[in-house]
Amino acid sequence: MRISKLAKVASLALAFGLVAGSPAYAVDLQGSGASFPALLIEACKAGFAASNGGANSYVYASSSSGTGQANSDKSIGDFWMSDGAYTAATKRSTLIHVPLVAAPIAVLTNLTSSKTLQLSAATVAGIFGGTITRWNDPLIAADNNRTTTVVKYKLDANGNPKKDSKGDPIVLSTRKVTNVYTLPNQPIKVIYRSDSSGTSENFTNYLSKSASSIWTKSKNKVFKDSFPGDINAISNLGRVVGAASSTGVAQLAGKTPYSITYAEVNYAAANRLKIANIINPAGASVAPNSTGVGAFLT
């Protein structure tokens, strides 16, 4: 029951694992690891306390999947969060993986326009890979000054897409929308995760699978090790910068005009960042929300 509640709160394409190695006796719990689900974990504190009459609570040190995995090796704490399954040779045999919650990685921007930016996988790969360096690049313009398909799904009482007998989301309607987005003639400031991050691993996996001709390296928890060029090239100095944790990249992006980063979607609001839609292979503009994640998980 708790797991279903947590998944519901997450507003839901990416699964996270709770790695537990110690029984939960009537003592406070200590957790650490991925920063991606940190906002959700914090939001669940009140419900957890209410479920046990306030007798117990937990603390969670948000950092990175890599830190959580390292802490689990050393038995530091009671539970650890990771954006993906932990399969390293150092993993203790007593660990149990529990798929806990799914939520979208969002591409977040610090742009002044009230319109929603739309980006194809190839354009996202070009921006984060350093081949697209200005906001008014023709490839970004082509993604945004175009006609796209907007899909409306039938939703259940919880706001999740209803499924048909084949398990596919039920489409209520589709409509064509013509977009015109005036892009600034400004350099793009790319902000990436500098730590060992499951978010980076999943994000670079998407780029390498969806735009392999541009993102030519395999996925990696360390973003710079997956970067397809020379991240320390003169052209990238001061323009492509790293920060630790989801909070770190979101806060830095919030302070940096014309920047772009990637993080769990709920980090946008507190840092006044805009959420970009992703253009899928069918040409539809997809928002990082529960409907999109629900469709992805089916």
State residue 40's pLDDT score.
Answer: 85
Q: What is the pLDDT of residue 23?
A: 47
Distance CA 246, CA 260 (A): 13
pLDDT bucket at 62, cuts 50 / 70 / 90: confident
User: Quick one: pLDDT at residue 258?
Assistant: 99
Q: Which residue has the higher pLDDT, 254 or 155?
A: 254
pLDDT tens digits, one per residue of 191-244: 999 999 989 999 999 999 999 999 999 999 999 999 999 999 999 999 999 999
Rounded Cα gap, residues 235 and 224, in angstroms: 15
189-193 and 240-243 beta bridge pairing: parallel
Q: Which residue did the predictor score with more confidence, 39 or 259?
A: 259
Q: What is the pLDDT of residue 15?
A: 36
Tell me which of 28 and 279 has the higher pLDDT. Answer: 279
pTM recorded for the entire structure: 0.75
The predicted pLDDT at position 118 comes to: 95
The mean pLDDT value of the chain amounts to 85
The listed range with the strongest mean pLDDT (4-13, 14-23, 159-168, 263-272) is: 263-272
User: pLDDT band for position 68 (50/70/90)?
Assistant: confident
Distance CA 95, CA 73 (A): 9
What's the pLDDT at 7?
26
Structural domains of the chain sorted by starting position, each given as residue range(s) with its CATH number in brackets:
2-103 (3.40.190), 105-297 (3.40.190.10)
- In the chain, the percentage of residues whose pLDDT exceeds 70 is 91
291: confidence class by pLDDT, cuts 50, 70, 90: confident
Cα–Cα distance between 203 and 24 in angstroms, integer? 33
The residue among 189 and 47 whose pLDDT is bigger is: 189
How many Cβ atoms are within 10 Å of 246's Cβ, its own excluded?
Answer: 27
Mean pLDDT confidence for 105-133? 97
Cβ count near 53 (within 10 Å): 7
pLDDT at 166: 87
**With bands split at pLDDT 50, 70 and 90, how would you rate the model's confidence at 132?**
very high
Residues 214 and 216: their CA atoms lie apart, in Å, by: 6
Of the chain, the percentage scoring pLDDT greater than 90 comes to 46
For residue 289, the model assigns a pLDDT of 86
List the 240-243 sheet strands across, edge first: 240-243, 189-193, 259-264, 105-109, 274-275
SS3 per residue for the chain: CHHHHHHHHCCCCEEEEEEECCCCCCCCEEEEECCCCHHHHHHCHHHHHHHCCCCCCEEEEECCHHHHHHHHHCCCCCEEEECCCCCCCCCCCCCEEEEEEEECEEEEECCCCCCCCEEEHHHHHHHHHCCCCECCCHHHHHHHCCEEEEEEECECCCCCECECCCCCECEEEEEEEECCCCCCCCECEEEEECCCCHHHHHHHHHHHHHCCCCCCCCCCCCHHHHCCCCCCCHHHCCCEEEECHHHHHHHHHHHCCCEEEEEECCHHHHCCCEECEEECCCCEEECCCHHHHHHHHC
The residue whose two tokens read 């897409």 is: 161
Mean pLDDT of 35-56: 84
List pLDDT tens digits, range 73-113: 888 988 888 887 778 888 888 888 888 888 889 999 999 99
Among 13-27, 49-63, 109-123, 215-229, the minimum mean pLDDT is found in 13-27
Report phi then psi at 18, rounded to 5.
Answer: -90, 120
What pLDDT shows up at residue 1? 27
